[in-house]
């Protein structure tokens, strides 16, 4: 974990900006994560702020999209994060959550994708409720240090809390400037050719930015983008 401290410095420096996602993912990879998901919650609604699988990007996107398609309501931590008071930063290991997990939920999000371990941190600020989920594929892998995970969740709360004041939907805070411009164009109903002309790139480049953005957001369709960015 020799790169943890440089990654921490980079995260703090980039918090609230479009440069945050890369050092943040570097930090969590150094902590042993195979997959990372950050979700924000309101009553009856969840939004994916960041999703990444370090070896199978499409898997991370598919799991996040499934989760947002109503499955989040059966997550044992969903009601807990809604009920938590501002200032809460609570670590929950998988073995603590399993007793309240429905068999079909466990099968879809753990057994079938081959995820053996999960550490979740519930972090609540004045205006944002989120859960940082760190997954590992190997059943005997070493758990990340608890304080490091709690600190990582505080970083996410700091970043997305600051980004929430921007003039774009909070889920887009994890994207680069170009990726965000493309997504905002999609949300405005524009075609790739129109977006390309506005930002000065080719339509193929727009498609590349859109694909990268969807992977980071854990989605795979225009409809899903509208769903996670709706007010």
In tens, the pLDDT along 192-223 reads: 999 999 999 999 999 999 999 988 877 788 88
**High-pLDDT (> 70) share of the chain, %:** 95
In this structure, what is the dihedral angle of CA atoms 21, 24, 30, 35, given to the nearest 10 degrees? -60
Nearest to 65 by CA among 37, 94, 41, 93: 37
DSSP helix/strand/coil, 202: coil
166 pLDDT higher than 80: no
User: 180: closest CA among 14, 19, 15?
Assistant: 19
**Residues 42 and 67 sit within 8 Å (Cβ to Cβ):** no
Q: Would you report the helix, strand and coil content of the chain in percent, each value rounded to 5?
A: 55, 15, 30
Q: Residue-wise over 165-187: b if at least 16 C-beta within 10 A, else e?
A: eeebbbbbbbbbebbbbbbbbbb
| Residues near 181 by beta carbon (within 8 Å), at least 6 away in sequence | 195, 198, 199, 209
- Residue 231 has what pLDDT? 45
pLDDT digits (tens, 9 = 90+) for 122-138: 999 998 999 999 999 99
What is the radius of gyration, based on Cα positions, of the chain?
A: 17
Instruction: Determine the topology of domain 4-163 in CATH.
Output: Beta-Lactamase (3.30.450)
Intervals of CATH 1.10.10.10 along the chain: 170-229
Q: What is the mean pLDDT of residues 128-155?
A: 94
Find the mean pLDDT for residues 55-76: 85
pTM of this structure: 0.79
Q: Please name the residue that has the structure tokens 């594929």.
A: 137
Does the pLDDT of residue 164 top 60, yes or no?
A: no
Q: CATH 3.30.450.80 residue ranges in the chain?
A: 4-163
CATH class of 170-229: mainly alpha
Q: Which candidate, 116, 166, 153, 209, places its Cα nearest to that of 40?
A: 153
């Amino acid at each position: 974990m020799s790169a943890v401290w440089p990654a921490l410095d980079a995260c703090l420096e980039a918090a609230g900006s479009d440069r945050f996602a890369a050092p943040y993912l570097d930090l969590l990879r150094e902590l042993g994560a195979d997959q990372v998901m950050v979700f924000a919650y309101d009553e009856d609604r969840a939004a994916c702020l960041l999703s990444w699988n370090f070896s199978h990007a499409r898997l991370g996107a598919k799991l996040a999209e499934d989760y947002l398609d109503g499955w989040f309501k059966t997550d044992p931590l969903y009601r807990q994060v809604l009920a938590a008071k501002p200032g809460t930063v609570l670590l929950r290991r998988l073995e603590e959550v399993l007793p309240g997990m429905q068999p079909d939920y466990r099968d879809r999000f753990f057994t079938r994708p081959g995820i053996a371990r999960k550490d979740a941190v519930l972090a609540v600020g004045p205006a944002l409720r989120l859960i940082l989920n760190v997954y590992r594929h190997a059943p005997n892998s070493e758990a990340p240090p608890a304080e490091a995970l709690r600190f990582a969740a505080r970083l996410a709360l700091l970043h997305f809390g600051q980004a929430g004041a921007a003039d774009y939907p909070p889920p887009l805070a994890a994207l680069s400037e170009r990726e965000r411009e493309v997504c905002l164009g999609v949300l405005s109903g524009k075609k790739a050719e129109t977006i390309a002309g506005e930002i000065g790139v080719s339509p193929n480049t727009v498609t590349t930015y859109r694909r990268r953005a969807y992977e980071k957001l854990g989605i795979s369709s225009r409809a899903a983008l509208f769903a996670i960015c709706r007010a």
